[in-house]
Amino acid sequence: MNLAEYRGVWVFLEQQDGRIAPVSLELLGAGRKLADKRGVPLSGVLIGDQVRELAADAFQYGADVVYLYDDPIFRDYRTESYMRAVIACVQKHKPEILLYGATSTGKDLASAVATDLETGLTADTTLLDVDQETGLLEASRPAFGGNIMATILCKKHRPQMATVRPKVMKALPPDPNRSGQIVEERIHLREEDIRTKVLKIVRETSKKVRLDEADIIVAGGKGMGSKEGFQLIHRFAEAIGATVGASRDAVEAGWIDHQHQVGQTGVTVTPKLYFAIGISGAIQHLVGMQNSGLIIAINKDPDAPIFQACHYGLVGDAFEIVPLLIEALQEESDKEVQYGGKV
Amino acid sequence: MLHIVACIKQVPDTKIIKMNPKTNTMDRSSAPAILNPYDAHAVEEAVRLKQRYGGTVSVLTMGPPPAVKAIRKCIEIGADEGYMITDRAFAGADTLATSYALTKALEKIAREKPIDLIICGKMTIDGDTGQVGPGIARRLDMPPLTSVKKVVEINKEQGYAIVHRKLEDGYEVIQSTLPCLFSVEKEINEVPYSPLPNMLRAARYQPVIWSVNDLEDVDRSLLGLKGSPTIVAKVWPPEKPKGGEKLQGSAREQVNRLMEILAEKKELFRAKEGRA
């Protein structure tokens, strides 16, 4: 493999319902930095059915080029069809780096593409850098349940690929004056060549807990003691209009569903306000919430690591403090209602 | 009659693994080796499908000799046969080299008894990648179905499977030809306590053990460290947060102080509410 033939930074542009996924826009932001450092173009790979107009968004968020596969066969994401498009595009245009969002689609696609291209793939990256001279991608990620960080390199194969956790990289502010070049691509693919068929897609947006979009999260951990004890977290969250989060311990104890789990094996969150209650602060939890705007910890163990990771800490029994807090916050909101009434 | 193979791994329990603060390395002896929790669900699902449609459940692992214990755990859950590949040649494998070695073992298993379905856990808790399952599927040219949270139907006569794949905001119902590979979510089932006869069988069970020489058509340059395109260049402890201010006084006093702080920072929360 002649590594020098491979040039440029690429982002797989995941799209759904007529918009580019937020994680892909974040990756354009991160990819722009890598591309500028290397002095190479940043390109997006856009695959779908009637998705051409999304290319303009990709340009506004930093892409120079969009490789477009626009065909009815790509209406639904399917590993086999999308994989073939990405592989064909890579083989034709030879990028040095290819990034995907670490979403169910991005991970599925990247794993298949990496195997066929026999190249390296780093999963769930949280830190990206590139060596300006060699072009070596330094993809770092938490490993062993978040106990350590590891930097992964892929020295002899191209493209260097990584999936990147949503909500970790920053999208650039969109520049409406920015445009780029659309390169139309085509592969010969018949429906009967694809062995899977999507029969139905069921969106559960109302039911689904959108922890990653919440402004305020109240999260409980092992310190809540029991499923009954954990109800206090629900009560507090309801009182202040927050979304309920949980540590892995609370989820594994069966006190709450996995979709509420914050951390390495759960969701990464960036609310404006995060309450960590009865959560000791294992690294695997911290990696999922440390970018929150304001972190308040309540724990009865003054030496709990969570106090190292919060902005303000309350040392004491959650079952004493939280009811007081609910009361105080409700008084506060009552005052505001009265104030609002006067106006 | 289905032949289902579950691919499993023995892992250190990362939840309780300790770091050696002097060397910044993991003290593996501090954590017991367990069956990867996601793989327990993979085996359980294979056993349930066997009960539903009839057939055989085999499990396959790659690892050092003590990994036999993880296979015994699968026998407890209800697997019929266990296979293990163990050899220094496999050591240091990343996900690409791992999927290659497992594929060679699966090909050998399939020569004796064709495989209808392969089931993997969503990921391992030590590697956290979820890449090996799809890798195996690609190498065997089977459709990979990841994030499977429910198996609706397996129809061997007509050669298809229908499953629910979990998405970020719901799920999709997808049909695939057989054979294919699932990697399954934890929520697909609950692993019950094992029945006593299974436990007795597991205690005495000896899996089939193969070294690299027992596998056929192996390109050794694709195995282990040599066959791994990725390398771990360095590891370091995660950044220690700076630490916050501990509020003082009784519970009531601390709450009052917190209320003052929240009032000062009100702007922080208001801005977005206004837009919403």
Whether chain B has a CB inside 8 Å of the CB on A245: the answer is: no
pTM exceeds 0.90, yes or no: no
pLDDT band for position B88 (cuts 50, 70, 90):
very high
pLDDT at B185: 95
Q: Are residues A189 and A232 in the same domain?
A: no
pLDDT at B25: 63
The helix/strand/coil state of A324 is: helix
Domain extents in chain B: 2-222, 245-276
Number of domains in chain A: 2
Q: Which of A256-260, A328-332, B20-24 has the highest mean pLDDT?
A: A256-260
Q: Which of A141, A158, A193 is the last residue of a domain?
A: A193
Q: What is the mean pLDDT of residues A7-24?
A: 96
Distances (CA, A) of B23 to A64, A317, B235: 44, 36, 11
Instruction: Say if residue B102's pLDDT is above 60.
Output: yes
Is residue A204 assigned to a domain?
Answer: no
- How would DSSP label each residue in A41-92? -EEEEEEESS-TTHHHHHHHTT-SEEEEEE-GGGSS--HHHHHHHHHHHHHH
Q: Are residues A299 and A326 in the same domain?
A: yes
| Phi and psi torsions of B186, nearest 5° | -60, -35
pLDDT at B21: 64
Q: Are residues A42 and A147 in the same domain?
A: yes
The helix/strand/coil state of A12 is: strand
Is residue A200 assigned to a domain?
Answer: no
Q: Are residues A277 and A165 in the same domain?
A: no
- The identity of residue A212, as a single letter, is D
CA angle at B174 for the pair B172 and B178, rounded to the nearest 5°: 155
List of chain A residues whose C-beta atoms are within 8 Å of the C-beta of residue B24 = 148
DSSP one-letter code for B91: T
pLDDT band for position B268 (cuts 50, 70, 90):
low
CA angle at A87 for the pair A86 and A93, rounded to the nearest 5°: 85
Whether chain A has a CB inside 8 Å of the CB on B103: the answer is: no
Distances (CA, A) of A123 to A111, A213, A243, A311: 9, 23, 28, 30
The DSSP element (H or E) to which A28 belongs, if any, is helix A22-38
CA B132 to chain centre: 9
Domain that holds residue A258: 211-342
Q: Which residues pair with B148 in a beta bridge?
A: B165, B184
Q: Are residues A141 and A231 in the same domain?
A: no
Tokens representing A249 are 């311990």
The CATH code of the domain that includes A80 is: 3.40.50.620
Whether chain A has a CB inside 8 Å of the CB on B130: the answer is: yes
Which chain A residue has the Cα nearest residue B17? A147
Q: Which of A136, A158, A193 is the last residue of a domain?
A: A193
Q: Are residues A105 and A66 in the same domain?
A: yes
Beta carbons within 8 Å of A267's beta carbon, 6+ residues apart: A211, A212, A259, A261, A288
List of chain A residues whose C-beta atoms are within 8 Å of the C-beta of residue B187 = 258
Residues 174-203 (A) with a CB less than 8 A from some CB of B:
195-203
Q: Which region among A22-31, A140-149, A235-244, B199-208 has the lowest average model confidence (pLDDT)?
A: A140-149
Chosen from B9, B131, B139 to mutate, greatest number of chain A CBs within 10 A: B131
For chains A and B, CB pairs below 8 A equal 248
Instruction: Say if residue B93's pLDDT is above 80.
Output: yes
Order of strands across the sheet with A294-299?
A243-246, A216-220, A273-277, A294-299, A312-315, B245-246
Domain B2-222 has CATH 3.90.1330.10: no
State ipTM: 0.88
Q: What percent of chain A has pLDDT over 90?
A: 77
Whether chain A has a CB inside 8 Å of the CB on B31: the answer is: no
pLDDT in tens, B41-77: 999 999 999 999 999 999 999 999 999 999 999 999 9
pLDDT in tens, A250-308: 998 999 988 899 998 788 898 889 999 999 998 889 888 988 889 999 999 999 999 98
Q: Are residues A222 and A279 in the same domain?
A: yes
- State the Cα–Cα distance between residues B62 and B51, nearest whole angstrom: 26
Whether chain A has a CB inside 8 Å of the CB on B147: the answer is: yes
Q: Are residues A226 and A309 in the same domain?
A: yes
Is residue A206 assigned to a domain?
Answer: no
List of chain B residues whose C-beta atoms are within 8 Å of the C-beta of residue A328 = 255-256, 259
Q: What is the mean pLDDT of residues A23-51?
A: 98
Q: Which region among A1-15, A44-58, A320-334, B43-57 has the lowest average model confidence (pLDDT)?
A: A320-334
Tokens representing A173 are 């502010």
The helix/strand/coil state of A322 is: helix
State the number of CA atoms in the 13 A half-sphere of B246 facing the CB. 15
Q: Are residues A24 and A153 in the same domain?
A: yes
The answer to whether the CB of A275 falls within 8 A of the CB of A242 is yes
The answer to whether the CB of A221 falls within 8 A of the CB of A277 is yes
- State the Cα–Cα distance between residues A340 and A324, nearest whole angstrom: 24
pLDDT in tens, B120-140: 999 998 888 999 999 999 999
| Phi and psi torsions of A205, nearest 5° | -60, -40
Subunit contact A111:B251, Cβ cutoff 8 A? no
Whether chain B has a CB inside 8 Å of the CB on A154: the answer is: yes
CA dihedral of residues A71, A74, A76, A80 (deg, nearest 10)? 160
The CATH code of the domain that includes A264 is: 3.40.50.1220
Whether chain A has a CB inside 8 Å of the CB on B196: the answer is: no
pLDDT band for position A205 (cuts 50, 70, 90):
low
List of chain A residues whose C-beta atoms are within 8 Å of the C-beta of residue B135 = 111-112, 114-115
Q: What percent of chain B has pLDDT over 90?
A: 78
Subunit contact A144:B166, Cβ cutoff 8 A? no
Q: Are residues A276 and A238 in the same domain?
A: yes
Q: What pairing do the DSSP bridges indicate for beta strands A196-203 and B170-177?
A: antiparallel
Instruction: Say if residue A311's pLDDT is above 80.
Output: yes
